[in-house]
Homo-oligomer: A and B are copies of this chain.
């Protein structure tokens, strides 16, 4: 029985509390929020859970084995570090930290102490993304050619981070999991329509070694909501539309075949292939529940997290590079140490 403390009970925290409360092998023992009015619903719904406005009290409590952190990103380093230093396992909201350097420090600390450090890349635990990964990694798609994602809607303008840190972070975490490869160069463009504020519309291209390119369009100022990802391969291509109720993943037997035989050395032949479409049935499970169970399993069985600190680091490093490139209207920025952590 793992005893969980949750810090931050705003928008996302209640989901963490509910999902950990429903795990047979866990118990939520404490919840912390600096705003007392955010704790009232906890007391009403979960009479046995201790509440506090002091995160240190939660972190140091003897009946807390693991800490889930759902605060603004500015506090991730401080809170996660304090928890690790108390010997507590940590699940932290995405992005894992405000900088890749902060992420590195958390990874080091967790590694040194043999603790689980996991980042809440929730989408990775959906049936749709698991299916995409399976199709990509088993070769069903052939050679992967591109990854293209649009994540736009009329969304809250944030004052501390640009739209990539809010929306593209989802795509980068999905991409990291599905492709199992890391970009070498990033070029990003964007604009802030409210002067003095972070960019609310942004475009981000990533170049990989080998013939693979990725792109994300993130926008807080779109009249319609779009959540659509294309994953193009030499054999098959996927359209992942997260707003589709029942057919989120469609697999198309379409593409081109390039004839590189010696006879055609002087003329590259491209053949077109169109074929069936197939929408696999996906399991209906709440992703956060799957993730909570996985976090517990990592603690008790020593499993390596699907979304460990290293995944969090890689995503933040891309966001940093994109933000950098964006201030220079798309000037490319190299990702150092792309392959190894």
Can you list, as one digit per residue, whether each of A203-225 has a CB less than 8 Å from chain B (1) or not (0)?
10101000111010101011111
Residues of B within 8 A of A196 (CB): 268
Q: Is A194's CB within 8 Å of the partner chain B?
A: yes
Residues of B within 8 A of A126 (CB): none
- The answer, among B193, B232, B256, B330, for a CB contact under 8 Å with A332, is B330
How many monomers of this chain does the complex have?
4
Contact B217 A185 (CB under 8 A): no
- Known contacts A146-B221, A193-B145, A330-B187, A276 near B274 by CB under 8 Å: no
Can you list, as one digit per residue, whether each of A267-279 has a CB less than 8 Å from chain B (1) or not (0)?
0101010111111
Range of interface residues on A (Cβ < 8 Å): 35 or more
Q: Is A295's CB within 8 Å of the partner chain B?
A: no
Cβ distance A108 to chain B, nearest Cβ, rounded Å: 32
Nearest-CB residue, chain B, relative to A228 = B226
Cβ distance A277 to chain B, nearest Cβ, rounded Å: 4
In addition to A187-B331, A194-B256, A253-B281, 7 A-B residue pairs with Cβ atoms within 8 Å of each other are A145-B201, A221-B232, A224-B239, A276-B278, A276-B279, A325-B330, A330-B330
